[in-house]
Amino acid sequence: MAAALGGAWTVAGHDVVIGGRNQGRAEQTARRIGAAGHGSLVNAAGHGDVILVAVPAAEAPQLVGSLAGSLAGRTVIDCTNSLVPTSDGPMLNTGGTTPVARQLAGAAPDAHVVKAFNLCHVSIWTLRPPTFEGVPLAVPYCADHAEAAAATETLISSIGCTPAPCGGLERAAYLEATAALAIGLWWAGQQPRTAFPLPAEAPPR
């Protein structure tokens, strides 16, 4: 996700710095996508107005907590999904009660956490732009902070997608549950979008 979204934002003209626990991998990713630079996690956390957390969901709260000072006052986008495979399909590892985004907000209380970019496979973010059947991809997001919401909408729009605000961070649990449902349908060979027809497409009563 760091490479896919970072690459899309770099192409869109944003100043992107890749931070990583492994400096070699961070440098490799930055060079591959043409990012402005690379460095440590602290370097990346202190670089821009918006920080994308692109690590496994189980590691994200502790990582964000360790960077809380650097993240204060910044928009922190959580694109993670905490899923475990089961015989019935992927299930939320959080139990569906405390979303990962809320955990990150607790770990860095002075940051402005946003849940976004968690519903699509990483390959979708490599499309320029992500358009399907002539319609730009909608990107749902949840945010409590007005400036963080505006910054997220700017990033969404800049890569040719349509922002889809879904309420405050308390509703992030619904986005994470939707990811579990959609991924389960994809794994079963189904098309999730066919389950959501437009009301306008229904015949009048």
Write out pLDDT tens, residues 168-203.
999 999 999 999 999 999 989 999 988 888 888 888
CA distance 141 to 36: 26
Contact predicate 184/85, CB 8 Å: no
pLDDT reported for residue 151: 98
pLDDT reported for residue 20: 93
Which residue ranges in the chain fall short of pLDDT 50? none
pLDDT reported for residue 8: 97
pLDDT reported for residue 205: 77
CA distance 75 to 147: 8
Q: Give the DSSP letter of residue 192.
A: G
pLDDT reported for residue 142: 98
Mapped onto helix, strand or coil, the DSSP state of residue 92 is: strand
pLDDT reported for residue 55: 95
CA distance 51 to 192: 29
pTM above 0.85, yes or no: yes
User: What DSSP string runs through 96-157?
Assistant: TTS-HHHHHHHHSTTSEEEEES-SS-GGGGGSSS-EETTEEPEEEEEES-HHHHHHHHHHHH
pLDDT reported for residue 95: 61
